[in-house]
């Protein structure tokens, strides 16, 4: 034991928990570097992104046929909100058109469920964006249930 200016210095043992923590951090650090270094593990943010996109794409691929929400009032209400936040800036809050065409009249890409699903999911060349990734299958059907209900009422939103 040394003594300087009246202050005693004892050699204290490092607490066991602290040593374990220290070793744990080093092990974790090595694991982290190994798994996220592309040259070692092949990990890449682009690969992760591509895989996420692939998984999301499956949810809208090959869907056609009938709208499962056609007769659901709750889905129509949800669709109304989805339309307001995703579509109304182009098609108008009343669906009568703006940047995009009137959705209450004749539709040039077709007005059966499958055709309209394809329009919204994949987009159309004249400026209709694809919503497949953003909304997914369920929400596309709901927004179309709402559009369909407006069309059935002769264009009254």
Q: How many CB atoms lie within 10 A of CB 97?
A: 14
| Gap between the Cα atoms of 108 and 13, Å rounded | 81
Q: Which of 24, 38, 114, 127 binds ligand HEC (CB under 6 A)?
A: 127
Q: Rounded CA gap, 60 and 114, in Å?
A: 12
Q: Does 69 bind ligand HEC (CB under 6 A)?
A: no
Q: Let me know the angle formed at the C-alpha of 63 by 61 and 66, rounded to the nearest 5 degrees.
A: 165
User: Which residue number, 41 or 134, has a Cβ lying nearer to ligand HEC?
Assistant: 134
Please tell me the distance from the alpha carbon of residue 142 to that of residue 87, in angstroms, as a whole number.
13
Does the protein bind ligand HEC through residue 109 (CB under 6 A)?
yes
CB of 139 to ligand HEC, least distance (A): 8
Which of 57, 83, 75, 66 has its CA nearest to residue 136? 57
**Residue 104 contacts ligand HEC per CB under 6 A:** no
Does the protein bind ligand HEC through residue 91 (CB under 6 A)? Answer: yes
State the minimum distance, in angstroms, from the CB of residue 142 to ligand HEC: 10
Q: Does 119 sit near ligand HEC (CB under 6 A)?
A: yes
Report, in Å, the least distance between residue 22 CB and ligand HEC.
54
> Which two structure tokens, joined as six digits, stand for 152?
């059935």
Binding site residues, ligand HEC, CB under 6 A: 86-87, 89-91, 99-101, 103, 107-109, 116, 119-120, 124-129, 131, 143, 147
């Amino acid at each position: 034991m040394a003594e300087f200016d009246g202050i005693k210095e004892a050699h204290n043992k490092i607490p066991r928990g602290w040593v374990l923590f220290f070793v744990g951090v080093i092990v974790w650090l090595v694991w982290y570097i190994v798994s996220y270094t592309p040259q070692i593990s092949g990990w890449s943010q682009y690969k992760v992104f591509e895989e996420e996109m692939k998984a999301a794409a499956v949810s809208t691929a090959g869907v056609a046929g009938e709208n499962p929400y056609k007769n659901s009032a709750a889905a129509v209400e949800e669709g109304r909100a989805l339309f307001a936040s995703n579509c109304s800036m182009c098609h108008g809050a009343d669906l009568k058109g703006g940047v995009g065409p009137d959705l209450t009249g004749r539709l040039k890409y077709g007005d059966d469920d499958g055709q309209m699903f394809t329009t919204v999911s994949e987009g159309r060349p004249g400026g209709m964006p694809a919503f497949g990734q953003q909304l997914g299958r369920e929400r596309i059907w709901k927004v179309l249930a709402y559009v369909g209900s407006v069309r059935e009422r002769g264009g009254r939103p």
